[in-house]
Amino acid sequence: EPEVTQTPSHQVTQMGQEVILRCVPISNHLYFYWYRQILGQKVEFLVSFYNNEISEKSEIFDDQFSVERPDGSNFTLKIRSTKLEDSAMYFCASSDGGSSTDTQYFGPGTRLTVL
């Protein structure tokens, strides 16, 4: 069964450093998402992406964040200058349709630790 994959599984970085989290969505999906989950808290929406542009972003997704689909298979989330509060589990998701009833399939997550 096709699945969303994410790398790395765990990333440790120093405050102020740039990190890039990578995701490979399910191959025939066209809609991509990033979510984050701070330890012990709810999963929070960050951004949705379709047709090579951001469709929607949350209040969390400020100028420090950017997303890109550099090729036909990868979808990346970049944090330019990490802060301690960026420490969280970051989930990538994809769906084949963009309606609210289309199921989003989640990857296993990347745990980001900012020291």
Could you tell me which stretch among 11-19, 44-52, 65-73, 80-88 binds other proteins (CB under 8 A)? 44-52
Residues 12-31 that bind other proteins (CB under 8 A): 31
Distance between CA atoms of residues 111 and 99, nearest Å: 29
Residues 46-105 that bind other proteins (CB under 8 A): 48, 50, 55-56, 58, 91, 93, 95, 98-105
Burial level of 111, CB count in 10 A (0-12/13-18/19+)? middle
DSSP letter for 96, please.
S
In the complex, minimum distance from the CB of residue 11 to other proteins, in angstroms, rounded to a whole number: 15
- Of residues 61, 89, 72, the one with CA closest to residue 25: 72
Binding site for other proteins (CB under 8 A): 4, 31, 33, 35, 41-45, 48, 50, 55-56, 58, 91, 93, 95, 98-109
